[in-house]
Amino acid sequence: MSIEYHHQHIHTLEDLEDGVSVFLRLDLNVPLRGDEITDDTRIRAALPTIKRLIEKKCKITIASHLGRPKGKVIAGESLLPVAQRLAELLDIEVVFPDDCIGTGVHKHLLDQQDDQIILLENLRFHADEEQNNAEFARKLKSKHHAYVSDAFGALHREHASTAALPKLFDKKYAGLLVEKELQALSRLIKTPSKPYSVVLGGAKISDKLKVVEALLKKADRIFLGGAMVFTFLKARGHRVGNSLVEEDMIPRAKKIMDQASDRGVSLFFPKDFYLGRSVEDPGEPQYCSSVSIPDGMMGLDIGPKTLAHFSEYLESSKTLFWNGPMGLFEKKPFHRGSFELATLISKCNAYRVVGGGDSVAAINQSGLADQVDHISTGGGASLEYIEKGGLPGLRALAS
């Protein structure tokens, strides 16, 4: 089976022959405290593809980046703890060479037994990785027969292991996670069922501007919250107190509002807020029943009137995408708006996707993650896919 991609095709694992040697690019960039993994979600997300390749009796070499060592060997950014966790979770021997290229790796490849997998050391220990160096890609390729990518969260990067390397293979495939992400995200950009609602929040409008502009061409309703809404509210002439505003983005915010009205896209703004003194030390939340925030105070969450107003128009949606928390959800009780939005979304009868690092953290914490259709773990990659309809790492997989 294959996935259509801009008049080309990306093969899936069903097309992969049994028993071949596979270079498997994963996103095992997990958070570490010392050598302890504090969240192994990304490792667990990769297991179905690894297991499928084991079932197919493939010889597997796994590669990933971790952190930002910027071309230097940094002990604290070794993948060793990941090798140990993989061995535990798969109950298999994981061979861990101390580099991702070179004679040591070759020797392990030659000696590899059927019941062993190889995990290469951090790709970013070589500056060539981020420079998309073709020679480095050739060294990574070594004698591998096929390339499989399941590193969805890294596909917006034009790096050696995601861009130059797959181009060197005739046989290349998307893993199960990439397949699932593409199925879900393409429903948001190809022919979304209407009405199509988008809820946008989060910290900075400058990070999201291009996605918002792209979504104006697809969505019917856009609901705005989080810190980024204050740039819009200031552009509309409201008092925003000390809330986070990106002054230099006010003209772009005005342009977005004009474009929305030209295209018949409805924009929904908050009607009330919970306020605090600052992000670092918000103090007790103070309720503000209107969009007029007193001097010295910051809007840190949306209020009940806003949620009731949003709810009315969210309910009838047929497609729904949520990116960006509605408030300072890391500090209780300013998580309430985001959690209650998660509840509203869980009750909608729409095709629902949640994407973005913090938005996914918020819905996971609310305990409602299993109530939506798709949680996109890609962060930057999912937003760029929605914005541009493609990614460098997907282009390199297509043929």
Kindly list the residues in this chain that would bind ligand ADP in the complex (CB under 6 A): 201-203, 207, 226-227, 244, 279, 299-300, 323-325, 327-330, 356-359
Strand partners, 352: 320
The answer to whether residue 153 is catalytic is no
The answer to whether residue 107 is catalytic is no
Amino acid identity of residue 302, one-letter, is I
CA atoms 208, 213, 219, 220: torsion sign: positive
The tokens describing 160, both together, are 């050696």
- Site membership for Mg ion, residue 389 (CB under 5 A): no
Ramachandran category for residue 379: left, alpha or beta (phi over 0 → left; psi -120 to 50 → alpha): left
Nearer to ligand ADP, 175 or 378 (CB): 378
Nearer to Mg ion, 357 or 389 (CB): 357
Closest CB 354 distance from ligand ADP, rounded Å: 9
Q: Which of 42, 157, 208, 234 is catalytic?
A: 42
Structural contact between residues 23 and 147, judged by C-beta atoms closer than 8 angstroms: yes
The tokens describing 13, both together, are 């694992």
Sites for Mg ion among residues 23-62 (CB under 5 A) = none
The answer to whether residue 357 is catalytic is yes
Pairing of strands 273-276, 286-288: antiparallel
The tokens describing 342, both together, are 């998660």
**Residue of 81, 195, 333, 357 interacting with Mg ion (CB under 5 A):** 357
Nearer to ligand ADP, 97 or 226 (CB): 226
Residue 143 exposure: Cα atoms within 13 Å on the Cβ side:
11
Q: Which of 67, 380, 389, 390 is catalytic?
A: 380
Nearer to Mg ion, 162 or 323 (CB): 323
DSSP letter (8 states) at residue 91: T
Nearer to ligand ADP, 192 or 226 (CB): 226
My answer on whether omega of the bond before 285 falls inside 30° of 0, hence cis, is: no
Residues 6 or more apart in contact with residue 294 via CB below 8 angstroms: 239, 241, 275, 288
Per partner kind, with CB cut-offs from 5 to 8 A, the member of Mg ion, ligand ADP, none near residue 192 is none
Give the burial class of 323: count Cβ atoms within 10 A of its Cβ; 0-12 exposed, 13-18 middle, 19 or more buried.
buried
Closest CB 202 distance from Mg ion, rounded Å: 6
Closest CB 211 distance from ligand ADP, rounded Å: 9
For residues 246 and 369, give the distance between their C-alpha atoms in angstroms, rounded to a whole number. Answer: 31
Q: Which stretch binds Mg ion (CB under 5 A): 130-138, 255-263, 293-301, 358-366?
A: 358-366
Closest CB 236 distance from Mg ion, rounded Å: 25
The answer to whether residue 201 is catalytic is no
Q: Which stretch binds Mg ion (CB under 5 A): 80-88, 193-201, 356-364, 368-376?
A: 356-364
Q: Which of 71, 357, 389, 390 is catalytic?
A: 357
Q: What is the dihedral of CA 393, 159, 25, 100, to 10 degrees?
A: 170
Closest CB 327 distance from ligand ADP, rounded Å: 5
Structural contact between residues 173 and 147, judged by C-beta atoms closer than 8 angstroms: yes
Per partner kind, with CB cut-offs from 5 to 8 A, the member of ligand ADP, Mg ion, none near residue 300 is ligand ADP
Residue 347 three-state SS: helix
Nearer to ligand ADP, 169 or 268 (CB): 268
**Residue of 77, 272, 340, 358 interacting with Mg ion (CB under 5 A):** 358
Sites for Mg ion among residues 284-313 (CB under 5 A) = none
The distance of Cα 387 from the centroid of its chain, to the nearest Å, equals 13
Which residues are marked as active site? 42, 204, 357, 380
Residues that bind Mg ion (CB under 5 A): 357-358
